[in-house]
């Protein structure tokens, strides 16, 4: 009997989502004779039972498109804003799943989506996930789709900033997304030849950055490109966060943990302008004119790179194979050259950060990039 499969995209969009939906859908429908229902706007679509049946016509011509034909949202089934309140809507998800007699729900998303997916798996639903995000911070997979394209976009931006920085003898600080991970800034910074790369995993000191810029000036290079990950922290900020995290970890009751979580949220909310403050500090410390460029959501847009199209297609088609084999509770992950299943239990709640001795960091140091430490 034909299997009935639901599919959704959740969390921030990224290039390659449509390629993954197409890869999964075409393999599921044409090879495995499955029915595929696309839920709209992430988990919200399952809660509200809003979907469209996917067929080969709908899946044609979308390989190269950015965004997602299904729409997305950051809604979590267990904490969903409904009529001015935040409610646990997990039962509504289960109801929709049963109503459509689904055999599996495919959830395409980043770290948050993996956690939501595991919760649903524990409620008895069959789940398969795919790892996407420009941040490349999903555990259990060598790489997420969307990352390669965003790294290319970031690199092109840094290339362009070079010519204007040189012409004006300026410091140009460029902020890239990546949430709490430095992969995107590290990759684009290395590829774009940034003189300074600041990532969350390596706390920095503004004076160290200023000294690297002064040294460049002394060597006759009167411009500098400083690539900063949005989650970067000075040493002092890093210590403050580490202290809050340790106290939350040590907290014995739920209420105490909640207070530390709120303090952490407040810290991050207050730090959103840290790159602007760093830009101003560098101007003061070096006496050199400085400008800030924030790439923001630009990094999430546009057509996927060839690498991401291939990766999304492989992940999507392999997910269809896994479901045909009755393999559930797993994420289709990149392991070496292969796509392999990894238990959701081993993925959810983990973050893949940049190891501070990662080869990209080592190579950066060998070409005299300053990491602010």
Which helix (H) or strand (E) covers residue 138, if one does? none
Min. distance of Cβ 299 from ligand F6P in angstroms?
Answer: 7
- Of the residues 135, 148, 195, 308, which is catalytic? 135
For ligand F6P, the closer CB: 6 or 111: 111
For ligand F6P, the closer CB: 103 or 230: 230
Torsion angle defined by CA atoms of residues 42, 44, 49 and 52, in that order, rounded to the nearest 10 degrees: -30
Q: CB of 344 within 8 A of CB of 333?
A: no
**Using CB under 6 A as the criterion, which residues of the chain lie in contact with ligand F6P when the complex forms?**
12, 74, 110, 133-135, 177-179, 230, 300
For ligand F6P, the closer CB: 134 or 292: 134
Min. distance of Cβ 54 from ligand F6P in angstroms?
Answer: 25
Which residues are registered as beta bridge partners of 334? 339
Q: Tell me how far apart the terminal alpha carbons of the chain are, to the nearest angstrom.
A: 60
Min. distance of Cβ 136 from ligand F6P in angstroms?
Answer: 10
For residue 344, the 8-state DSSP code is: G
Min. distance of Cβ 26 from ligand F6P in angstroms?
Answer: 27
Sheet of strand 196-198: strand arrangement: 196-198, 224-229, 171-176, 290-294
Angle (CA) 37 113 59, round 5°: 30
C-alpha 32/C-alpha 27 separation (Å) is: 7
For ligand F6P, the closer CB: 165 or 184: 184
For ligand F6P, the closer CB: 7 or 134: 134
Alpha carbon 43 to chain centroid, angstroms: 18
Using the structure block, give the residue that is written with the tokens 């599996």.
Answer: 104
For ligand F6P, the closer CB: 300 or 309: 300
- Tell me whether strands 127-131 and 196-198 are parallel, antiparallel or unpaired: unpaired
Min. distance of Cβ 339 from ligand F6P in angstroms?
Answer: 22
Which single residue brings its beta carbon nearest to ligand F6P?
177
Which residues are registered as beta bridge partners of 343? 330
Q: CB of 16 within 8 A of CB of 149?
A: yes
Query: What SS3 state is found at 351?
Result: strand
Min. distance of Cβ 120 from ligand F6P in angstroms?
Answer: 20
Q: CB of 41 within 8 A of CB of 47?
A: no
- Annotation says 137 is catalytic: no
Q: Which residues are catalytic?
A: 135
């Amino acid at each position: 009997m034909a299997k009935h499969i639901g599919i959704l995209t959740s969390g921030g969009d990224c290039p390659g989502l449509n390629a993954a939906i197409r890869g999964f859908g075409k393999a599921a429908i044409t090879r495995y004779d499955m029915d595929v229902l696309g839920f709209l706007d992430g988990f919200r679509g399952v809660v509200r039972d809003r979907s469209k049946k996917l067929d080969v016509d709908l899946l044609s011509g979308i390989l190269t498109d950015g965004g997602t034909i299904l729409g997305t949202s950051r809604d979590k089934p267990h904490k969903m804003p409904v009529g001015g309140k935040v409610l646990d809507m997990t039962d509504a998800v289960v109801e929709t799943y049963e109503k459509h007699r689904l055999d599996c729900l495919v959830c395409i998303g980043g770290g948050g989506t993996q956690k939501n997916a595991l919760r649903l798996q524990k409620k008895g639903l069959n789940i398969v996930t795919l790892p996407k995000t420009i941040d490349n911070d999903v555990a259990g997979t060598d790489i997420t789709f969307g990352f390669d394209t965003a790294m290319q976009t970031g690199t092109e931006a840094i290339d362009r900033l070079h010519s204007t920085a040189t012409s004006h003898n300026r410091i140009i600080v460029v902020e890239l997304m990546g949430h709490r991970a430095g992969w995107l800034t590290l990759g684009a910074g290395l590829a774009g030849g940034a003189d300074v790369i600041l990532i969350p995993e390596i706390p920095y000191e503004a004076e160290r950055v200023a000294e690297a810029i002064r040294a460049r000036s002394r060597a006759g290079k009167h411009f500098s490109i400083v690539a900063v990950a949005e989650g970067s922290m000075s040493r002092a900020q890093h210590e403050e966060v580490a202290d809050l995290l340790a106290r939350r970890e040590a907290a014995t009751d739920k209420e105490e943990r909640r207070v530390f979580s709120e303090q952490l949220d407040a810290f991050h909310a207050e730090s959103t302008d840290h790159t602007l403050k760093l830009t101003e500090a560098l101007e003061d410390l070096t006496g050199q004119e400085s400008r800030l460029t924030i790439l923001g959501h630009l990094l999430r847009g546009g057509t996927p790179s060839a690498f991401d199209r291939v990766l999304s297609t492989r992940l999507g088609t392999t997910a269809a194979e896994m479901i045909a084999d009755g393999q559930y509770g797993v994420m289709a992950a990149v392991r070496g050259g292969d796509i392999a299943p990894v238990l959701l239990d081993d993925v959810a709640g983990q973050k893949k950060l940049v190891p501070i001795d990662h080869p990209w960091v080592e190579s950066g140091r060998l070409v005299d990039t300053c990491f602010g430490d």
